[in-house]
């Protein structure tokens, strides 16, 4: 088997999204650029006892319309989202496994937390009814690599297949590592992204105990306010974002439509604190610098940043410092937005969803806004595309994600 040269370029040929703002990439993007908010009071459980009672849920969606009902019952909600987003992306790419070498097609779909619904449901059965009532599918359903395995079974892909776990950097790490697999010749095609379904009582109780989430329950639509003076924490979302990546040579050979090139990626660690980002932004700054350098670009080429922008006091301040560290005098004129103001924070799926946003930005020439930005924090003094989408043609986009454990990821997409 011949290997691709190390300089092989990698492109995006398929997009898939499951989210409360849209259950396909186009609907999701249209909602986002219109400034719609996907955050409301939680309905998946009674949130009344919780300090945070808001979330961005996927509503009005029946997994059994997209997945074999028997398999759907055996799998967790996070796998439902990732599987269906991957199915969309695969269909969007026009790939046909009847004409592909299955050994050269892989899947890497990560999850920061994995099967929380399964964990909570089966633990309750154990406590209430005893060990014999626990489902034999419990372990396969809750572990974080099963979404990748399920989709590989669906299309018969026998290439690289696993799940990445790096908290809120998971989706970006999955996409970046999948790019490298193609570059080093391990695959021609990779289906990559992130999926999460952690709008559950145990997850909420845990994050509330950390005081990490917003408690503005009286007005969910304005509670998530990245870079604003009054921000008080993130809000949980659920869903999935998945890309189809291919070598440029492979995509051209089959006449595929190419959305963008994924040209740079880097992963670093803060080595500072288990939950708090480096207060000087050194780790994230290094990730951005390395991603831009590996893309063959310089900072002047980046036209837009999709920020991690969680709406927590520390993250938004330190990410702003990191951007200033990397872009210097140009930082104030560089458009940046936090789409989490509308999507909420999808944890391990954030990087997948935001990769789709980055690609759609290049395709459409529209920058999605940071909504709820009416009282800027003086320490967050950059151009965050406040409240209204902006039409700007850009040729390269940088997307950032950070995770508990001090893990940073940055990825660059550019026009082909």
Burial of 405 from C-beta contacts in 10 A (0-12 / 13-18 / 19+)? middle
Residue 242 and residue 19 in contact, taking contact as beta carbons nearer than 8 Å: no
Q: Are strands 304-306 and 396-403 parallel, antiparallel or unpaired?
A: parallel
Q: Is 253 helix (H, G, I), strand (E, B) or coil?
A: helix
Distance, CA of 391 to CA of 339 (rounded, Å): 16
Q: State the catalytic residue, choosing from 19, 173, 250, 308.
A: 308
Residue 189 and residue 106 in contact, taking contact as beta carbons nearer than 8 Å: yes
What are 1's two structure tokens? 């088997």
Q: State the catalytic residue, choosing from 19, 80, 147, 168.
A: 168
- Who contacts 307 (Cβ-Cβ below 8 Å, separation ≥6)? 226, 319, 323, 336, 337, 338, 384, 400
Order of all β-strands in the sheet with 105-110: 161-162, 105-110, 189-196, 239-247, 10-18, 260-269, 407-414, 396-403, 304-306, 336-337
Q: HSE on the CB side for 283, CA within 13 Å?
A: 22
Phi and psi (nearest 5°) for 28? -60, -50
DSSP conformation class of 276: S
Residue 190 and residue 265 in contact, taking contact as beta carbons nearer than 8 Å: no
| 168 catalytically annotated | yes
Q: HSE on the CB side for 129, CA within 13 Å?
A: 9
- Who contacts 93 (Cβ-Cβ below 8 Å, separation ≥6)? 13, 14, 244, 246, 256
What are 413's two structure tokens? 């997409």
Taking alpha carbons only, the member of 401, 170, 181 closest to residue 291 is 401
Torsion angle in degrees (nearest 10) through CA of 193, 199, 204, 208: 70
* Residues designated catalytic: 168, 308, 345
């Amino acid at each position: 088997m011949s290997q691709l040269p190390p300089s092989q370029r990698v492109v995006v040929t398929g997009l898939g999204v499951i989210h409360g703002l849209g259950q396909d990439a186009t609907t999701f993007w249209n909602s986002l650029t219109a400034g719609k908010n996907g955050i409301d009071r939680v309905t998946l459980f009674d949130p009344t006892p919780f300090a945070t009672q808001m979330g961005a849920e996927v509503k009005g969606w029946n997994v059994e319309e997209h997945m074999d009902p028997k398999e759907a019952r055996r799998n967790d909600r996070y796998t439902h989202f990732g599987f269906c987003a991957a199915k969309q992306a695969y269909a969007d790419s026009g790939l046909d496994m009847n004409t592909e070498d299955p050994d050269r097609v892989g899947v890497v779909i990560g999850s920061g937390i994995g099967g929380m619904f399964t964990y909570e449901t089966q633990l309750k059965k154990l406590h209430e009814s005893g060990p014999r009532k626990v489902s034999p599918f419990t372990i396969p359903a809750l572990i974080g690599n099963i979404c990748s395995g399920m989709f590989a079974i669906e299309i018969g892909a026998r290439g690289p297949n696993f799940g990445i776990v790096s908290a809120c950097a998971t989706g970006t790490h999955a996409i970046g590592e999948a790019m490298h697999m193609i570059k080093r010749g391990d695959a021609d095609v990779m289906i990559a992204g992130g999926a999460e379904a952690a709008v559950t009582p145990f997850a909420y109780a845990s994050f509330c105990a950390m005081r990490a989430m917003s408690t503005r329950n009286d007005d969910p639509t304005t509670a998530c306010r990245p870079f604003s003076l009054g921000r008080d924490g993130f809000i949980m979302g659920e869903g999935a974002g998945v890309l189809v990546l291919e070598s440029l040579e492979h995509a051209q050979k089959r006449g595929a439509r190419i959305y963008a090139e994924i040209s740079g990626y880097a992963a670093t660690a803060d080595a500072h604190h288990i939950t708090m980002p480096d207060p000087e932004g050194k780790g994230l700054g290094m990730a951005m610098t390395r991603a831009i350098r590996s893309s063959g670009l310089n900072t002047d080429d980046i036209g837009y940043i999709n920020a991690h922008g969680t709406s927590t006091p520390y993250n938004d301040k330190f990410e702003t410092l990191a951007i200033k560290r990397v872009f210097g005098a140009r930082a104030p004129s560089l458009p940046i937005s936090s789409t989490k103001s509308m999507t909420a924070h999808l944890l391990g799926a954030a990087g997948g969803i935001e990769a789709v946003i980055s690609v759609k930005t290049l395709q459409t020439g529209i920058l999605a806004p940071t909504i709820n930005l009416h009282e800027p924090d003086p320490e967050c003094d950059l151009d965050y595309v406040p409240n209204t989408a902006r039409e700007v043609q850009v040729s390269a986009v940088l997307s950032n994600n950070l995770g508990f454990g001090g893990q940073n990821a940055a990825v660059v997409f550019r026009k082909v």
